[in-house]
Each structure stands twice: as structure tokens, then as C-alpha cells.
Chains A and B, each alone.
Chain A
Amino acid sequence: MTAKWEAVIGLEIHVQLATRSKIFSAASTAFGAEPNTQACAVDLGLPGVLPVLNSEAVRMAAMFGLAVNAKIAKRSVFARKNYFYPDLPKGYQISQYELPIVEHGQLEVVSDGGGRKIVGITRAHLEEDAGKSLHEEFSDQTGIDLNRAGTPLIEIVSEPDMRSAKEAVSYMKKIHSIVRHLEISDGNMQEGSFRCDANVSVRPAGQEALGTRTEIKNLNSFRFVERAIEFEIKRQIRVLEDGREVVQETRLYDAGEDETRPMRSKEEADDYRYFPDPDLLPVVIRSEVIEDIKRQLPELPAEKASRFRLEYGLNEQDAEILAMNKEVAEYFEQTVRKTSADTRRVANWVTGELNAALSVDNLDITSSPVTSDMLAGLLTRIEDGTISGKIAKEIFRSMWAGEGEADSIIESKGLRQITDTLEIELLVDQVLLDNPVQVGQFKSGKDKVFGFFVGQVMKLSKGKANPQQVNSLLRKKLQ
């Protein structure tokens, strides 16, 4: 982006709540059932049926609000958002409009420069999800599956506080982390449990008034959010630099083409005609209930990160990475509990070696072939000097490949560190004997050659020699 322009981004994130039953009916919310087998009369909008609100959906929305320091409305109201679409059975979506359950929250995110900034959360409201339209199944027809219709959602609306695609992704990741920690959503983006609409506009740097915005709908991965926003910013700048005007419209991101394009079905003018749903009464939450929910809130990522810094002496970055994902944090703490190894070493291994292996194999930490027990066993062996860090990486790869635990691999492959001074001395002598030229260089003052000798000894020992001992023996011999 050229410095001449500034992008302004706000996100609307839809989070499916992990209730067992739907928000207004007693049908199951489980994913992946045969089409329309989990759509009851209420979900289908048959004549005469009525909605009754799920208590768990209300509790989860309040939990989210408390987690982002928002105000929980003592009285919130459901409204109807009226529009026709085949996957919207009643011709209206039950949502919240004037009085949402959550308002005025905030969240700290990583800003572009790597610093911190606060993103405002305007509101989060409860609503029902729509069904799914399947366009590919038939040649000239669209198939409608209403299993998803009525699944509870919270729609989290941010202030237009973000200035780059990266900031938007950072914000979205934080929200994802929070809902996972609260266990109010599975956050599964492939299954659509966590999806995002981005409002993007561009204005000349320094200008206060906002430019015309476009809305990019249904972004269901962090990468797509980043790509779509980046594309859209560039597109809008191009339009403005060409002296044209940005059209306020709804666009879709095409991942294949890596571009956004206008959404055709949204061409007809919308006027949602919101009004309070007469089938539902105002939702009243007493302060005691809010206090109660507050007391039961689990530790949140930000709290966890600061505890990790204090309790384990981690740096800010490691603490935050580990605390971001609930399962990663659990893995880390389990490992710490099972080993005497330095906590910073544990952190390095989890964020480094383990994390890299997981992403190569595209695995979730909960299905890691190296369990926290196994990692703890390995790190203990580094700590007690049985193996070196380098050998440990090799053992880690073996464990990853399913060859067993650290101790048995050390034994079967004979990877125990050589700490016998005599044995190391023999190796050192051998190296000095084999490299007379370098010995000469060292003696004439080229200190840098020292590293070469260490490397050669380690190589000769197949990495098993204790590096400290190698060092001191070499020094002694070369003096």
C-alpha cells in the first residue's frame, strides 16, 4: 500500500455457539448430518410454530461479552430482519438490532509495527444461522439444506479500528482464541463455525472522513481474510487513483482467482425492516447471574500469557504464542509439570520444533504423535546431560516417526552423550593430528579456527561428545 492511502477495516465475525440444541428449537446442532434431518418444524418455519430461547446460548453470549470487557445488557431484545432467500425459511432472521446482549467491548491486538493497539468491539448480538444453498448438486436447480438453520450465532461487530489486513487477522485470531478458551464454540472454520465479513474502505492518509466501503462476505480462513482484504485495498486504491469512485456493494472473495467480485444475488435493494419479534419477549439477565458467569469464566489468553511470564519466566512473545491456543497452553503446562528442564527450554521446544513438525504434517496439537509425556522425557535427558540439544532434535524426529520414547531411542541407537574425558581426549587428539594446517593458523593468532576444531570433534563423535568438555579440552591442548 502506498503511503498516500490509508485503509480502514472493520470486521463482523460470526461465531457458531457450541450448544447441543438450536437457539430457538430442540433440534440438534451436530455438523454433518444427512440434509434436512436436523431441521424440525420450527427450523423449517412451518405455519404456526414458535421460537423458544435456549438458555445456554444466552449464557455463552454473556461469557463472550465479559471476556472482552463489554457491557452485558440487563435487557436485550430480539428483532426480525426481513429478507427473502431460500435458505432463510421464515423470510426473516431472528437477530438483535436496537438492544443487543453485548455492547462496548475491547480487545488488544498486535498492530502493524509489531506494537499493541486496542480494537473496539461495538457490539455482539445473538442470532440464528441460516441454512445452506447447494448450487453444485443439480444442473438447473439449487438444493436447500436447513440443518444449519437455527444454529445459534453471535455476531461480533468491531469498530473500524484496523488499518491493514495483518491487523485484521491479528484481531480475528484473538477472537478465535477467546471463543475457544471459553469453550463457547469449536471455532472450526472449515465447517463454518467461525466466519467473517470484512468492511473495507480506503481514504487519503490524514483524511478524517471515511471512504466508501465495500463488504466482503463469508471469509472462512485467516488466510482468505488477509488475502481478500489485501486485494480489496489494492483494488480500491486503483479505482481511486484512476479517478473513479468506489461503489458501496457486497463482494465475494474467490480464492481460486485471488480476487473479490460483486455478489450478484445482492443486487436487489435491501431494506431489512427490522422490528421487535412479537413471538419473543425481552431477555432479562439479572446482575447476580452476570456475576455468577463472571466468576465461572475460565482463564483467558491475555491473563494466561501474563501468568506464563511471571510463573515460567517466559518472554512476552513466547508467552503470548503459547497462551493463544488453549490446547497448546495445556500441552506446554503438562510438559513443564513432568520435567525438571528449564521452562524456557520447554517453551522453545513447543513453539519451535513441535510447532514446526505439526504444521508440516498439518496436525492439531491434540493429535501430536509426540505427547507431552514424551517431550518431557526428552527434555529431561537434555537437562541431565544424557544427550545434547542437537542429538535431542534427532531423537525428536524419531519419536515423531513413531519409534518410541526418548529413553528407548537413546539406548537402541546409542545416542548417550560422551562425557568420559579420556574418550573425548582421544577424539580431540585425533582431530588436531589430522589438521596440522589449521593448528598452525590458530597458533599464528587466527582464533576463529577454534570453532572448526569443535565442529570436527563433534562430527567425529557423531554429535555425542559433550560440547563443554570438548571446548575445555581443545583449549587446554592448543595452548
Chain B
Amino acid sequence: MSISLEEIQKISLLARLHVSAEEAGQYAVDLPGILAWVQQMNKVDTQGIEPMAHPMDASQRLREDTVTETDQRSRFQSVAPSTEKGLYLVPKVIE
């Protein structure tokens, strides 16, 4: 199998990773190799088998609807790259 450079660019856009031309070339080699290896999964027929998303066959526990969290903004924002007036800042977004 092969993966085109356009496809690599599309994936890198979805993943928000900058991929240089050189890296893209490397991915174009690596990814098909790994994916081809992964495709040995196809040697077993899994039709009708329920996919297993969790190792435990359990159901979701529910919490009570109570507020126990207090304001820790200054603490949380002390590790933020850029804040002002209590807001996290990013370059201007145009909708």
C-alpha cells in the first residue's frame, strides 16, 4: 500500500502537526510500512464480533449533581503561556 504526500498533508492538518517536506517523505515510507504490517489483522475474520472498547465489562458510574470545585483560576493560569483579564489568549480568530 502507499500513502500520497497529499494524504500525509491532510493527516498532518487534522493532527495539527507541521510536517516539513523532508518529514513528509519519511512518513510516506514509514506509515505504509507500519500500516501494511498492521493489516495482518485481516487474516482473521471478525464478522459479527462485538468490538471491545474497554477491558472491563462494566457500566458507567454516575456522580451526584453537586458543586465541590472552587475557583482556582490564578493557580491554573500560573502555568498558562498567555492570559489577560482572566482570559486565555490566542492569536485573533476570525469566524
Please determine whether A36 and B63 come into contact, CB atoms closer than 8 angstroms.
no
Known: A26-B68, A269-B10. A141 touches B89 (CB 8 A): yes
Question: How far is B14's CA from A374's CA once the two chains are assembled, in angstroms?
Answer: 63
Chain B interface SS verdict (over half): loop
| Chain A CB within 8 A of B37 CB | no
Which residue from chain A places its CB closest to the CB of B63 in the assembled complex? A52
Contact A58 B62 (CB under 8 A): yes
Among the interface residues B10, B66, B73, which one has the most CB atoms of the partner chain A within 10 A? B73
Residues from 112 to 145 in A contacting B, C-beta threshold 8 Å:
133-135, 137-138, 140-145
Contact A54 B14 (CB under 8 A): no
The interface bits of chain B over 1-27 (1 if a CB of A lies within 8 angstroms of the residue's CB, else 0) are 000000000100110100000000000
Query: At the interface, yes or no: A280 with Cβ under 8 Å from chain B?
Result: yes
A21 touches B86 (CB 8 A): no
Across the interface, A142 reaches (CB within 8 A) one of B14, B86, B91, namely: B91
Docked pose: A40 CA to B93 CA in angstroms:
24
Contact of A265 with B60 at beta-carbon distance under 8 Å, contacts A21-B66, A39-B76, A137-B85 already known: no
How many residues does chain B have at the interface if contact means C-beta atoms less than 8 Å apart?
A: 37
Give every chain A residue within 8 A of B92 (Cβ-Cβ): 135, 138, 140-142
A75 to B50, CA, bound (A): 14
Interface residues in A35-57 by Cβ distance below 8 A to B read 35-41, 44, 46, 52-57
Q: Interface code B43-82, partner A: CB below 8 Å = 1, 0 otherwise?
A: 0000000000110101111111111110111001100001
Q: A53 touching B60 by the CB < 8 A rule?
A: yes
A141–B92 Cα distance when bound, in Å, is: 4
Chain A residues within 8 Å of B38, by CB: none
For B84, what are the chain A residues with a Cβ–Cβ distance below 8 Å? 138, 141, 143
The count of chain A contact residues (Cβ–Cβ below 8 Å) is 57
Instruction: Indicate if B87 sits at the interface (CB-CB under 8 A).
Output: yes
Q: Does A372 contact B (CB under 8 A)?
A: no
Cα A425 to Cα B59 in complex, Å, equals: 84
A145 contacts across to B, CB distance below 8 A: 86-87
- Residues of A contacting B88 in the complex (Cβ-Cβ under 8 angstroms): 36, 86, 143-144, 146
- With A and B bound together, what is the CA distance between A377 and B60 in angstroms? 55
- A40 near B72 with CB under 8 A, answer yes
Between-chain CB contacts (< 8 Å), 11 pairs: A21-B66, A41-B76, A52-B63, A53-B63, A56-B65, A57-B65, A134-B87, A252-B95, A271-B14, A278-B54, A281-B56
- Give the B-binding residues of A (Cβ under 8 A): 19-21, 25-28, 34-41, 44, 46, 52-58, 75, 77-78, 82, 84, 86, 133-135, 137-138, 140-146, 252, 263-265, 268-269, 271, 273, 276, 278, 280-284
Write the residues of chain B forming the contact surface with A, with a CB cutoff of 8 angstroms: 10, 13-14, 16, 53-54, 56, 58-69, 71-73, 76-77, 82, 84-95
